[in-house]
Chain A
Amino acid sequence: MGILLLVPILAPLAAAALAAVLGWRRLSAWVTILAALSVLITAAVLGFGIESGVRFGVGDLLRVDSLGVTMLLVIGTVGTLATWASIGYIDAELAHRHTDQRGAHLYGVLLPVFLAAMALAVLANNIGVMWAAIEATTVATAFLVGHRRTRGALEASWKYVVICSVGIALAFLGTVLLYFASLHAGASSGQALDLDVLLSRAARLDPDVTRLAAGLLLLGYGAKVGLVPFHTWVADAQSQAPAPVSALMSGVLEAVAFCTLLRVKSVVDLSLGTGFLRTGLLTVGLLTLLVAASMLVVQKDFKRMLAYSSMENMGLIAIAASAGTRLAIAAILLHVLAHGIGKSLVFLAAGQLQAAHDSTAIRDVTGVLTRSRLIGASFAVGLAVLVGLPPFAMFASELSISRALAGAHLAWALGAALPLMVIAFAALVRHGTRMLLGPPDASSPAIAVPRSIAAALLTAVILSVALGMTAGPLTDLFHTAATQLGASH
């Protein structure tokens, strides 16, 4: 059983190795898709094969619980969509000479490495390894962000690497401090950073040191989630990265980082009580929402708009996490999954728009719905998902988050967040309408949709609708994850 835990990490790595050998070929691309799919299948097997409970693999280096399974589902789902769409994307980039064979080669190698790093981050038992995996995602995506090697891409990747690395470095410092506290709580040096050990000894951690560690971890992983104050890379990186990579960064990477934050929170809450991180999460969550909503209002670039929408959602789940109840955690997980799929939709559609117009300015794009039914509808559905309209799942998750907040006596936070969300909604609807509706300009270029991207988009639309109707067995999974994270009722 333990060996199964290695699949989500090794399968993408194998695909990367193959891509390294073969270069950008159909075969390696399909193997990459299969690798992503294998992550999804592993998640399904892990989730439904056996009764709930935490399992370990490779000694106690890897660990899977319901939260891990959920995150693997997200990685697998969005990863499959993104790798699938990558075929069409890279072909088009090659055709338009935005990249060369070397660039494509690099892309083919780094994308599965990125997936593997994320899988490791959610499966690691040791929070140090978790940290290393998260930092590895930065390294892996640095060149993906700068893939086009234009000035903008270069600038974005520099900022991305520098800002994220500083943030993550602070998280490392926090990890070190937690290790220190854990050692002094009597843990043996080899296991002091293991989650299960930390959880079992949480009550004996030195509160002063733990508080410092928790603050640094929140700040550090917050950088990767896209929370204030290290949020400044998000828009640059996600707007410059290739569409499938943007989808992964926005839909999965941020969520994975948030999942580590949740794990840390479960330890810290046991040690310090819920008050400390609650204050912290609320502060950064609300500030993030404020920044995201404001930037959405003044936005002129549709890819940056999508990036700020990610920030908005991350801010929201940070606020939700501060409630910390079972309902809140379950809602966060649903939110993350729905957001991942929705973001894939909009980013992949946006990628085609960018390819057609060679611009990402909102004002350059009009009448998409009449020009390309598929791209227009995908973008519209994606936006509807993101702004939380029923019948899509983010409506249910936002509703549940609201209930959880009110239930945790945080109605005031909800009251502060809702106007900001309405502002964000207003901005997204305004920009979306501007792009999608209306008569097409006579001079508008045709929007090409490669088959693989069309397939990915259709799949994502179907998934979005289905998830909006019912989460089926996932509901139990989410609730178990919440219980395992020590959430109260």
Chain B
Amino acid sequence: MTTALHNSPTVPALGEGARAAPPAGALAWLSGGLTAALGAVGVALGLSVIFGEPRQLRIGWLLPLVGVRLDLDPLGGLFLVATGAVSIAVGIYAVGYAQRERWARFPLAILPLFVAGMLLVPAAGSITTFLVSWELMAAVSLFLVLSEHRREAVRSAGVFYAIMTQLGFASILLALVVLSAAAGGDAFSTISAHVHDLSSGTKTTVFLLTLMGFGSKAGLLPLHAWLPRAHTEAPSPVSALMSAAMVNMGIYGIIRIDLQLLGPGPNWWGLTLMIIGALSAVFGVLQASVATDLKRLLAYSTTENMGLITLSLGAAILLRSSGAPTVAAIALTAALLHLLSHAAFKTLAFLAAGSVLAATGLRDLDKLGGLARRMPVTTVMFGIAALGASGLPLGAGFVSEWLMLQSLIHSPADGNTTLALAMPLSVGAVALTTGLGIAAMVKAFGVGFLARPRSAAAEAAQEAPASMLTGMTLAAAACAVFAVAPALLGPTLRQVLAVLPTVGGHAAGPQLGTFLRLPGVGGSLSPGLLAAALIIAVLLTLGLSRWGARHRPAAAMAPLWASGADTLSSRMQYTATSFAEPLQRVFDNVLRPDIDVEVTHFAESQYLVEKVTFRSRLADPVEQRLYTPVIRAVNAVAEWVRGAHTGSVHLYLAYGATGLLIVLLVTR
């Protein structure tokens, strides 16, 4: 499959120029170490705020006219912890990755800065500080995305990312300055004190604008298109940071501004969030399930998961205003837990994809395969991540998706038509997302890591160095916690939930213990117990299958049946494209693939086929329908303005004369 959106990089093309730079051993240690250390600081600070007193810091002289104001509360603390934890794993991983991929000095130097920017966002206590750290984070990430700028795909992804992120920033900027002007203050605390004075028009404006801006950062539809590009082309540790930590900031913004500061909004806010979330989730996972580029698949999976989280946030608003604060608390817990577990498994997935990329130079699943034997640890790591992403039991995403479903099915049935329609459809959307998510992850793991290598590069793959494996192991450990012992996060989430007015503070959230119990509604789950029981059951089955072993001849190896050919060639295998073909056909109307089949006949006869060329392009339909017209309109206006500047000095003076006439007429 050729896609117009990416070129599969090959080994020599990667960092060709970076090779010219001196080996970056010491610098890699410094940069990775600093990144991890910053992450550790973030975790420590976050935890201290969650379980201790809020902290504040004001620096008036820093940043001209603006100043810096940091205010940490449990909500910010939670995001500090998430970002920090991701950074620790990525920092350690980056030490090995940077050396192996020979990173240039500049990206190494700004990697810690990126983490710092991300840690500042949730710590910001005023809209100006928030905006500064937001844009700092965006700018640094842009430069990181561009680190392999010698490749054309990276440059175009970088430009695309820059523009979309700036668009998002502009809309957040507008929303927040309007908010602060209307509330008469810059600090979040001031705003929240005066929020009752705001007109509903202002609130609506702020809500819509922030939704656009934060949604774009979180990769939600329809402003998601930067995500599959930037996350794909960035160096993998950066992809991990972006996909597991940076997109969370979009969610943070929605929670902080729209849920907390603007208070529980009207019903339609919740509904809007749910619709956008559901669309993003389904669209993202659909694209992921037909993607053949490993990192692109993971990037679309990010859109999917952010969609699920947004859906839950919307459900929380809707449930709260329908008089079910306990269920709203479940939805909110589900959102936060899913955010954290997504951070864990997506970090791991991108890091594993990074070690594949480093080992083979390939991201194209159609050329990978057979890594399980060559890179066993990486394969296991990716397996853990994929299990988490597919939301199956034993996976990191299971518990949060379970909570999500519980919140959706326990809406109060008091004749509320909105709820009666929204909730089942949401369950359907979540279910379809999970189902397709499983398909996407099975494809990524099964085609990418199992079976036989589909190219020489994959054949020659070697396991990643120790530091990369260490980073991945940390992330895997986090995944394990989410999978079997989410109870460890119970106290943290409870503290955070208490500061969110959407829940009302008094409604008890779900109890995360060995058994997850949902107060007020029936429902319980024990992921730990389930895991243990499953392991016992599998062992039991293995034991039972020993029955009759005494009578068996000695075990043997045998070649597979090659469908009549001499040996099984890797070209006979299903590829990622063929694997996803049934899904692509089922969702033909949504995906709109562009398929060309070209048959070349021999000159001698019409009936003898010399070769068949098959080309299938999968572009992003949202992009084609929405972005292209906008770009075309901008270009048309620009051309029109250009046409008005012919270079004729007479025309130019005529403009001036017109201006003069207008002034004369207006001022008299």
Q: Which residues of B contact A437 (CB under 8 A)?
A: 146, 149-150, 155, 158
Report if A163-B652 is in contact (Cβ < 8 Å); known contacts: A212-B667, A439-B17: yes
- Cβ 8 A contact of A423, one of B63, B186, B634, B649: B634
A426 interface hit (Cβ, 8 Å): yes
Q: Which residues of B contact A399 (CB under 8 A)?
A: 65-66, 128, 131-132, 173
- Cβ 8 A contact of A470, one of B17, B64, B635: B64
A385 to chain B, nearest CB (A): 12
Q: Which of B370-378, B505-513, B522-530, B656-664 is the interface stretch?
A: B656-664
Interface residues of B in 162-209 (CB under 8 A from A): 162-163, 166-167, 170-171, 173-174, 177-178, 180-181, 186
Q: Which residues of A contact B65 (CB under 8 A)?
A: 327, 330-331, 334, 396-397, 399-400, 471, 475, 478
Interface residues of B in 108-135 (CB under 8 A from A): 128, 131-132, 135
Instruction: Give B205's nearest chain A residue, CB to CB.
Output: A411
B343 to chain A, nearest CB (A): 25
Interface residues of B in 449-480 (CB under 8 A from A): none
A397 to chain B, nearest CB (A): 7
Q: Which residues of B contact A170 (CB under 8 A)?
A: 660
Report if A295-B642 is in contact (Cβ < 8 Å); known contacts: A166-B656, A437-B146: yes
Report if A403-B649 is in contact (Cβ < 8 Å); known contacts: A295-B642, A297-B634: no
A290 interface hit (Cβ, 8 Å): yes
A94 interface hit (Cβ, 8 Å): no
B666 interface hit (Cβ, 8 Å): yes
B442 interface hit (Cβ, 8 Å): no
Report if A426-B132 is in contact (Cβ < 8 Å); known contacts: A297-B634, A400-B66: no
- Find out whether the CB atom of A471 lies under 8 angstroms from the CB atom of B64: yes
A337 to chain B, nearest CB (A): 9
Rounded to whole angstroms, the CA-CA distance of A232 and B646 in the bound complex is: 10
- Cβ 8 A contact of A391, one of B136, B166, B660: B136
Q: Which residues of A contact B178 (CB under 8 A)?
A: 406, 411
User: How many interface residues does A have (CB within 8 Å)?
Assistant: 76
A402 to chain B, nearest CB (A): 5
- Find out whether the CB atom of B132 lies under 8 angstroms from the CB atom of A215: no
Q: Which residues of A contact B645 (CB under 8 A)?
A: 232, 291, 295
- Find out whether the CB atom of B132 lies under 8 angstroms from the CB atom of A229: no
- Cβ 8 A contact of A215, one of B640, B649, B663: B663
- A-facing mask of B136-155, CB < 8 A → 1, else 0? 10010000001001101001
Interface residues of A in 398-433 (CB under 8 A from B): 399-400, 402-403, 405-407, 409, 411, 414-415, 418-419, 421-423, 425-426, 429-430, 433
B639 interface hit (Cβ, 8 Å): yes
Q: Which residues of B contact A439 (CB under 8 A)?
A: 16-17, 150
Q: Which residues of B contact A119 (CB under 8 A)?
A: none
- Find out whether the CB atom of A421 lies under 8 angstroms from the CB atom of B64: no
B61 interface hit (Cβ, 8 Å): yes
A390 interface hit (Cβ, 8 Å): yes
- Find out whether the CB atom of B158 lies under 8 angstroms from the CB atom of A433: yes
Rounded to whole angstroms, the CA-CA distance of A370 and B17 in the bound complex is: 9
Report if A214-B667 is in contact (Cβ < 8 Å); known contacts: A403-B181, A411-B177, A472-B61: yes
Q: Which residues of B contact A327 (CB under 8 A)?
A: 65
Instruction: Give B666's nearest chain A residue, CB to CB.
Output: A215
B668 interface hit (Cβ, 8 Å): yes
A230 interface hit (Cβ, 8 Å): yes
Q: Which residues of B contact A159 (CB under 8 A)?
A: 649, 652
- A-facing mask of B60-100, CB < 8 A → 1, else 0? 01111110000000000000000000000000000000000
A294 interface hit (Cβ, 8 Å): yes
Interface residues of A in 286-304 (CB under 8 A from B): 290-291, 293-295, 297-298
Q: Which residues of B contact A407 (CB under 8 A)?
A: 177, 181
A307 interface hit (Cβ, 8 Å): no
Q: Which residues of B contact A334 (CB under 8 A)?
A: 64-65
- B-facing mask of A361-393, CB < 8 A → 1, else 0? 000000001100000000000001001011101
A205 to chain B, nearest CB (A): 14
Instruction: Give A437's nearest chain B residue, CB to CB.
Output: B149
- Find out whether the CB atom of A390 lies under 8 angstroms from the CB atom of B174: no
- Find out whether the CB atom of B132 lies under 8 angstroms from the CB atom of A421: no
Instruction: Give A162's nearest chain B residue, CB to CB.
Output: B649
- Find out whether the CB atom of A433 lies under 8 angstroms from the CB atom of B155: yes
- Find out whether the CB atom of B641 lies under 8 angstroms from the CB atom of A291: yes
Q: Which residues of A contact B170 (CB under 8 A)?
A: 418-419, 421-422
- Cβ 8 A contact of A469, one of B62, B634, B642: B62
Instruction: Give B162's nearest chain A residue, CB to CB.
Output: A429
Rounded to whole angstroms, the CA-CA distance of A387 and B64 in the bound complex is: 17
Q: Which residues of B contact A450 (CB under 8 A)?
A: none
Q: Which residues of B contact A216 (CB under 8 A)?
A: 660, 663
Rounded to whole angstroms, the CA-CA distance of A405 and B174 in the bound complex is: 10
By DSSP majority rule, is chain B's interface helix, strand, loop, or mixed?
helix
B132 to chain A, nearest CB (A): 5
- Find out whether the CB atom of B656 lies under 8 angstroms from the CB atom of A230: yes
A240 to chain B, nearest CB (A): 13
A232 to chain B, nearest CB (A): 4
- Find out whether the CB atom of A390 lies under 8 angstroms from the CB atom of B638: no
- Find out whether the CB atom of B64 lies under 8 angstroms from the CB atom of A393: yes
- A-B pair count, CB < 8 Å, reads 185
Instruction: Give B171's nearest chain A residue, CB to CB.
Output: A418
- Find out whether the CB atom of B61 lies under 8 angstroms from the CB atom of A229: no
Instruction: Give B158's nearest chain A residue, CB to CB.
Output: A433
B145 to chain A, nearest CB (A): 11
- Find out whether the CB atom of A422 lies under 8 angstroms from the CB atom of B181: no
Instruction: Give B152's nearest chain A residue, CB to CB.
Output: A438
- Find out whether the CB atom of B64 lies under 8 angstroms from the CB atom of A475: yes
A228 interface hit (Cβ, 8 Å): yes
B159 interface hit (Cβ, 8 Å): yes
Rounded to whole angstroms, the CA-CA distance of A423 and B163 in the bound complex is: 8
- B64, B158, B663: residue with the most chain A Cβ atoms closer than 10 Å: B64
A142 to chain B, nearest CB (A): 14
Rounded to whole angstroms, the CA-CA distance of A399 and B128 in the bound complex is: 7
Report if A294-B163 is in contact (Cβ < 8 Å); known contacts: A384-B139, A469-B62, A475-B64: no
B637 interface hit (Cβ, 8 Å): yes
Rounded to whole angstroms, the CA-CA distance of A380 and B267 in the bound complex is: 46
A187 to chain B, nearest CB (A): 22
Rounded to whole angstroms, the CA-CA distance of A33 and B162 in the bound complex is: 39
Q: Which residues of B contact A228 (CB under 8 A)?
A: 655, 659
Rounded to whole angstroms, the CA-CA distance of A478 and B65 in the bound complex is: 9
- Find out whether the CB atom of A438 lies under 8 angstroms from the CB atom of B63: no
B653 interface hit (Cβ, 8 Å): yes
- A-facing mask of B614-650, CB < 8 A → 1, else 0? 0000000000000000000011011111100100010
Instruction: Give B139's nearest chain A residue, CB to CB.
Output: A389
- A208, A218, A395, A419: residue with the most chain B Cβ atoms closer than 10 Å: A395
A474 interface hit (Cβ, 8 Å): yes
B166 to chain A, nearest CB (A): 5
- Find out whether the CB atom of B659 lies under 8 angstroms from the CB atom of A230: yes
Rounded to whole angstroms, the CA-CA distance of A403 and B182 in the bound complex is: 11
- Cβ 8 A contact of A297, one of B63, B131, B174, B635: B635
Rounded to whole angstroms, the CA-CA distance of A426 and B131 in the bound complex is: 19
Interface residues of B in 10-53 (CB under 8 A from A): 16-17
Q: Which residues of B contact A163 (CB under 8 A)?
A: 649, 652-653, 656
Instruction: Give B635's nearest chain A residue, CB to CB.
Output: A297
Instruction: Give A173's nearest chain B residue, CB to CB.
Output: B660
B333 to chain A, nearest CB (A): 34
Q: Which residues of B contact A384 (CB under 8 A)?
A: 139
Instruction: Give B20's nearest chain A residue, CB to CB.
Output: A370
Q: Which residues of B contact A56 (CB under 8 A)?
A: none
Rounded to whole angstroms, the CA-CA distance of A429 and B161 in the bound complex is: 10
Instruction: Give B131's nearest chain A residue, CB to CB.
Output: A399
A221 to chain B, nearest CB (A): 13
Which 6 pairs across A and B sit closest by C-beta, in order of nearness?
Answer: A471-B64, A294-B641, A229-B659, A232-B652, A406-B181, A215-B663
- Additional A-B contact list (5), CB under 8 Å, known A214-B667, A437-B158: A163-B652, A298-B642, A399-B173, A426-B159, A430-B163
Q: List 9 A-B contacts (CB under 8 A).
A: A159-B649, A162-B649, A163-B649, A166-B656, A212-B668, A232-B645, A402-B174, A430-B159, A470-B62
